[in-house]
Amino acid sequence: MLSKCILCHGFNRIKPTSFNPMHIPSYRYASNKYIVLGIETSCDDTGTAIIDKKGNLFAETLLSQNVIHLRYGGVNPLIARDLHRDNIERAVNETVMKAKLQFQDIDAIAVTVKPGLLFSLQIGVKYAKYLSKIYHKPLIPIHHMEAHALVARMYNNIDFPFLALLISGGHCLLTCVRGTDDFLLLGDTLDNAPGEVLDKVARRMKLRNIPDYSQLPGGRAVELAAENAKTFEVFEFPLPLHKQRDCNFSFSGLKDAFSRHLYKKESEHNIKGDEIIPEVNELCASFQYAVAKHIVHRAERALKFCILRNYIPVDNSTLVVSGGVASNNFIFKCLQCMGNAMKCNVLRPPPKLCTDNGIMIAWNGIEKINSGYPSTDMELIDIDPIAPLGVNVKDEVRYDNIHVKSTRLKNMFISA
């Protein structure tokens, strides 16, 4: 009956790792550890991982769809859904086998339920519910952005409260993290996310036509091209929202300015078809610099606001940077320069955990368990593709009217 039910939802061959009813989960009881399986399918990567209460990683699997979506210039939701459906069983089984465990050894299943692509989220949640039902395991619903904010605590000694900057292809926001389920939203993007804009810039620049970048995500291609530039000052870009004393972001103006610069150069060089402008590296560097400058400008105001309001300690402040764009080393170094000037410790998870993965989901499940999170009835778990993060305090930021000198940012970036 269960297999038939799952088939109705689109799973074709559900064959979880077989188990022996007489098996005794000796490792768990002997070591007194709580073991969580994490499942992540919010966008275009199928990620699974198993960790225990102390943060020990047993195994992980990450099946990326990046190369396939490159053909479409971005993530295609329907294709992402189909690939998740094809990959979810394999990812879970591989992780369990690599961990040398059986399903009864697992104490709970953490799964991303919000935010993300609806069809992608559905695949992960349905499979998690299936495993929960046949193995009688509690489910832990996970907020994708909360998981990004907290995963750095798995690798660093970071106490609550701290400031978090989450930058990716779908989000750009600043939040004060006061506890496992206690977030204050200071600002988010008014239009495009930085990862989305970097991908569009890479596509418009035709970086895929350069062999070294042909198999890379757009943001990574822009970063590598910028490293080959002689300077980042060839093209001028505005500082978005510089008169707005809040912590919101806007990248649409930068994207428009980029289009004007590129069109002008293509006209000057009479570029046709797949040809690329000679200043490709310098334009990438200038655009990346503009993105970093905007992000740092808002992050500095958020840090000053949190200290002013006593939301974070003045003598031991921490800024955690996570999300796919956090793996951009130039942007991260610029944030570190700002942090040094503000006597703030700027950290990020290991670069591979800045992007979507199962480890951060499993760890968030552990965080919830450690904070006394109750068991959840799987029938009450709802998927929410557009889910806010925490309590919105953006009006408080505007009220404090905190000034940030944009003129001194350039010196930070030169040292970065």
Domains along the chain with CATH numbers: 35-155+355-380 (3.30.420.40), 162-348+391-415 (3.30.420.40)
Query: pLDDT value at position 13?
Result: 39
Give the single-character DSSP code of 105: G
Tokens describing residue 351: 């670069």
Full pLDDT tens readout for the chain, 416 residues: 333 334 334 444 334 443 332 233 333 333 457 999 999 999 888 999 999 999 999 999 998 766 564 565 666 778 888 888 999 999 999 999 999 999 999 999 999 999 999 999 999 999 999 999 999 999 999 999 999 999 999 999 999 999 999 999 888 999 999 999 999 999 999 999 999 999 999 999 999 999 999 888 899 999 999 999 998 888 999 999 999 999 999 999 999 999 999 999 999 999 998 899 999 999 999 999 999 999 999 999 999 999 999 999 998 899 999 999 999 999 999 999 999 999 999 999 998 899 889 999 999 999 999 888 766 666 667 899 988 999 999 999 999 999 998 655 565 555 55
Tokens describing residue 266: 């293509």
327 class by beta-carbon count within 10 Å (0-12 exposed, 13-18 middle, 19+ buried):
buried
Tokens describing residue 205: 């620049």
Residue-wise DSSP of 28-83: HHHHT--EEEEEE-SSSEEEEEEEETT--EEEEEEEE-HHHHHTTTS--HHHHHHH
Query: pLDDT value at position 204?
Result: 94
- Count CB atoms within 10 A of the CB of residue 230: 10
Residue-wise DSSP of 139-205: EEEEEHHHHHHHGGGGTS--PSSEEEEEESSS-EEEEEEEETTEEEEEEEBSS--HHHHHHHHHHHT
Query: pLDDT value at position 413?
Result: 56
φ, ψ for residue 202, nearest 5 deg: -60, -40
**Which one, of 182, 136, 162, lies nearest residue 373 by Cα?**
182
Give the single-character DSSP code of 373: P
Query: pLDDT value at position 350?
Result: 93
Tell me the whole-structure pTM to 2 decimals.
Answer: 0.87
**Which one, of 292, 287, 298, 296, lies nearest residue 237 by Cα?**
287
**Could you give the C-alpha distances from 106 to 87, 134, 139, in angstroms and in order?**
20, 13, 11
**β-bridge mates for residue 44, sequence order:** none
